[in-house]
Amino acid sequence: MAGFVGRFEHSVDTKGRVILPARYREAFTRGGFLSSHREGCVALWTPGEFERQTAEMLESSKSDREGRNKARLWAGDAMEVEIDKQGRLAVPSRLRNFSNLEADVLIVGVIDHIELWNPTSWEERVQPTEQWFLEDDA
């Protein structure tokens, strides 16, 4: 599998649901997992990738207090989700608040997972790095 790639603009409906782009849906026929993620986005994981992330969190929680707190926060916000027949997934209010998902949402494939971003937050985080693609390697 080449992984999740691409960027899509969608919106959050009045019930807190987001439409998952059709190209991603096949990977979530058995459902998926949402969690808070770095830099203020929400991550959507396949069941297999969520297990791998869980194992990493468990391992890091054995090292020190910070590792345990990260694992607590991550696991405490994580939840299993199903994709309905219309391709929608419900994003709980605590995760929408965490990532400031209001009306618009940017859905980005990030190879091993999918991220849901507030478009303004995305621009603030990614815009400076975008310059890298414009640089000449010569």
- The arrangement of strands across the sheet holding 42-45 comes to 7-11, 104-109, 114-117, 42-45, 32-36, 79-81
| In the chain, % of residues over pLDDT 70 | 96
Q: What is the pLDDT of residue 104?
A: 96
At 133, the amino acid letter reads F
Question: What is the dihedral sign for C-alpha 107, 89, 28, 25?
Answer: negative
* CB-based contacts of 81, cutoff 8 Å, min separation 6: 31, 32, 33, 34, 44, 89, 90
Homologous superfamily assigned to 7-134: Transcriptional regulator MraZ domain (3.40.1550.20)
Any idea where the domains of the chain sit in the sequence? 7-134
What stretch of H or E contains 34? strand 32-36
Q: What pLDDT, in 10s, does the model give residues 31-64?
A: 999 999 999 999 999 999 999 999 999 998 898 8
For residue 55, count CB atoms less than 10 angstroms from its CB and return exposed for 0-12, middle for 13-18, buried for 19 or more.
exposed
pTM of the model: 0.90
The per-residue pLDDT for 90 is 97
- Those residues with Cβ within 8 angstroms of residue 31's Cβ, 6 or more apart along the chain or in another chain: 47, 80, 81, 82, 83
Residues in the chain, pLDDT under 50: none
d(CA 4, CA 23): 9
Amino acid occupying residue 35: S
Query: What pLDDT is attached to residue 97?
Result: 96
The predicted pLDDT at position 137 comes to 64
